[in-house]
A and B are shown apart, each in its own frame.
Chain A
Amino acid sequence: MAEVINDTSITKIKVQKSLSPWAVARRKFLRNKLAMVSLFFLMTVSILSFLAPYITTADITRVNIGSMSLTPSSEHWFGTDKSGRDVFTRLLYGGRVSLLVGISCTLLIITFGTLIGALAGFFGGIVDALLMRFTDFILNFPLLVFVIVLNAVFFGKLGGVPVLIAVISVLGWGGVARLVRSKILSEKENEYILAAISIGSRPAKVIMKHLLPNVLSTIIVQATLTFAAMIVVESGLSYLGFGVPAETPSWGNMLAASREPDVLQNMPWIWIPPALTLVITILSINFIGEGIKDALNPKSLR
């Protein structure tokens, strides 16, 4: 946090000079209380999750018959689940998996979607037609249905988190590609692109150096929204039993315990922590996204 405060003091001194667009955006974002609180929450959750092995000592995999379904106490903060595993510990480990799946899918989807969208938008013509038909084709697959089917295909052969990430990403990039294409299409009409092309810049350079930086703000906002959506997808699939393998804790898997009416009715401490953590995490990411969108929009007043 110390660095962040330092940053604002520096930008305040430079106010007279007129700020760079990024500095303006950063200042707007730092003033957005909701976004800052969300960012703080998200960072806390991430740090706690990724340091889970150092914070907690309880074993998450061992079934402990002696301490089954205990109510919350000073020893087990959120109680234990039906197999006697500490809910708090599982929550932290679950966060690792859920956030990891979310981030990996987002990175893959954004990278691939941007690549396809940029190529289609920049080259136009036959390249555009082919790539966009392919994108339409991908977009026509109902994501949830096909992830479930693909998971059944890989069942037993290749399982686990990497396959889940790959499957979600392969089916999920269509929307980003369309968005980036439309942004590139309108951006490339500008004179500076014509200038760059006429002095002989290669297409790769025009796209990387001139076009992408100018659509970056859209991509960043889209990335935060995708991140939230991917966490929803992962935990939804895990809840249905088609996501992360059951033995790996994830927020969705923990929530899946509530599919037993007995747990749902009588042991709320098992499913309320993952449910609330999920809701607050998703809300935080959305608030951060809105904050970034607001900050990067030169027309917004704040």
Chain B
Amino acid sequence: MLALKLAYRNLMGAKLRTWLNMIVLSMAFLVIIWNKGLLNGWDQQARRDTIDWEIGGGVYWQENYDPYDPYTIEDSHGRMSDVTLKAVEDGKLTPILIAQASIYPEGRVQSVSMRGIDPAQALLDLPANKLTGDNSSVPAMIGQRAARNFKLNVGDYVTVRWRDVNGTFDAKEMQIVHIFKTNVSTIDARVVWVPLADLQEMMQMPTETTLLVTSQEAGFQGSIPGWIFKDHYFLLTEIREMIEMKSVSGQVMFLILMSLAMLAIFDTQVLSIFRRQKEIGTHIALGMTQRQVVALFTIEGAMHAVLAAILAALYGFPLLYLQAKSGWSMPEGTDDFGMTIADIVYPSYSLGLVVGTTLIVLITTTIVSYLPARRISKMNPTDAIRGKIQ
């Protein structure tokens, strides 16, 4: 308690030096929290969007399905049992049939993944209800990325060519009835959505599907023969790994910032111990042990972190709050890299993040303060009193 009191007095007495250290450290605090908050926000948004738009409460994959091997698509379909169809009817499952196809926008051949979804489904945010049109062509919808790549607009007709279940090539006109905007690139880039019944008819696979997406609220439970359930942990692996990778680059920034702040603290401590030898000697003459003086100087250094945290809270909380409200605009085209990322990412700051960062900074500052302060214990008190350089 005494050391705290004296350390506080010394810091307040040092005025400008203390303020400079506090400002540098508080900025490090804020940037670390902001950076981590941004990644957290991105992570949360990406997960939420992927769940809402693509995977619901989890997905049953037809046992042959492998999204990374297009050759498996041909065999990745199975007939839905009565139990499954009942679950679909009850809104607990929604089937998605996947087929490989080629489209010919403006005469160019483009390979696409054609996916059939029930226009009546309400399980995913995908606006499947837009898949309506006249009977002369297959109504289709695509995402903004696909529309940009294929140069297609609403109302455009495009020829689609596919191989049915018997391996026979067939072709048809499809009309783009809707272009949707989503942050989830895996359901957008090179994907064409059509009504499930139309695709089943085109493929000659009545009541067949590749995927069965479960509802988030009252999802289907139990096993479906021929399908394998993939949970959120599995389906969100890519996002998790990407965020982890981004976290590593965040850690590098964290290290650079901390090094700068710690250098300032270390420098101050070394300078203090060099310049304040008389003070150290006086403390010993007045009845402190050298160990107590080491503790006093260590606390004094560590207190920079406490004061910096208070300062950061004063000017940083409003800034971080504003940032969390208004979000951080991502550069155009970021979502074209196959990442699920919103146009505006809203940073998310948890109590754990703030407390964790504060603790890390506090512990690091204490260590950095202690290292030079150890020299005091080797000082000769009689020389220190006279300010003899040791």
Q: Do A and B bind each other?
A: no
